[in-house]
Amino acid sequence: QVQLVESGGGVVQPGGSLRLSCAASGFTFSNYGMHWVRQAPGKGLEWVTFTRYDGSTKYYVDSVKGRFTISRDNSKNTLYLQMNTLRAEDTAVYYCVKDVAWAFDVWGQGTVVTVSS
Amino acid sequence: QTVVTQEPSFSVSPGGTVTLTCGLSSGSVSTSYYPSWYQQTPGQAPRTLIYTTTTRSSGVPDRFSGSILGNKAALTITGAQADDECDYYCVLYMGRGTWVFGGGTKLTVL
């Protein structure tokens, strides 16, 4: 079955960096676009970034442009999110999500990122 | 900046039917926005219910259906059950590689 497993979350100081990973299995990873979606504590969901199946095109929400970078290694069936210059408002659960027809299909269980001094 | 709107809360009786909506602060929702719907129980990852307006995700019962009603996207739940009580989110694809979530609707079944 399709499975997405995130890792790499943790506690980081403001201005710090963190790299999230998402291991995919159960489907042909290299055929699908992938997203990261986040949810701040007690808040709603927010789309963060998307990469096409081949990594050729990437999109970001305005609040993370220039700080976050999405990438993928199709040979390893893994999606990444490099997060730099982290702010308190980046504190959230980060979900890795498989794309389907301009929407979100299968979700990982999420990894928690806390930005705090 | 366009905001995606949802009812903050809604209640339905067990066995009843409820329709949640997803609109725009400016303009009408059409199929061109590829509306989709997600269900989330507290502490859990979201679950995909509907995408491309009307397509049910794998394993989703046909009690859940999507449509366009007037100028909004809609999620209708028929035969509401106790475990339908949770948060529901819609998403619209705004074009140019941007997806926007609505604020979510907290559904109570009582």
If you measure CA to CA, which chain A residue comes closest to B1? A62
Task: Please say if the pLDDT value at position B1 is more than 80.
Answer: no
User: How does residue A65 score in pLDDT terms, banded at 50, 70 and 90?
Assistant: very high
* Chain B partners within 8 Å of A105 (Cβ): 48, 51, 57
- Segment A4-27 shows an average pLDDT of 98
Closest CA–CA distance from residue B107 to any residue of chain A (Å): 14
Q: Are B79 and B12 in contact (CB under 8 A)?
A: no
Q: Which of A22, A102, A107, A109 to mutate to test the interface with B (most CBs of B within 10 A)?
A: A102
pLDDT at residue B47 tops 80: yes
pLDDT score at B65: 98
Residue B99: closest CA among A29, A75, A59, A116? A59
The H-or-E segment that residue A80 falls in is strand A78-83
- Specify whether the CB–CB gap between A54 and A30 falls below 8 A: yes
Query: Band of the pLDDT at A90, cuts 50, 70, 90?
Result: very high
SS (H, E, C) B40-95: ECCCCCCEEEEECCCEECCCCCCCEEEEEECCEEEEEECCCCHHHCCEEEEEEEEE
Q: How far apart are CA B39 and CA B64, in angstroms?
A: 11
B21 residue type, one letter: T
Region B41-62 average pLDDT:
97
The model's pLDDT over B56-85, given as tens digits with 9 standing for 90+, comes to: 999 999 999 999 999 999 999 999 999 999
- The per-residue pLDDT for B60 is 97
B88 in A contact zone (CB under 8 Å): no
Q: How many angstroms away from the CA of B51 is the closest CA of chain A?
A: 6
What secondary structure does DSSP assign to A16-74, as a single string? --EEEEEEEESS-GGGS-EEEEEE-TTS-EEEEEEE-TTSS-EEE-GGGTTTEEEEEET
The per-residue pLDDT for B23 is: 98
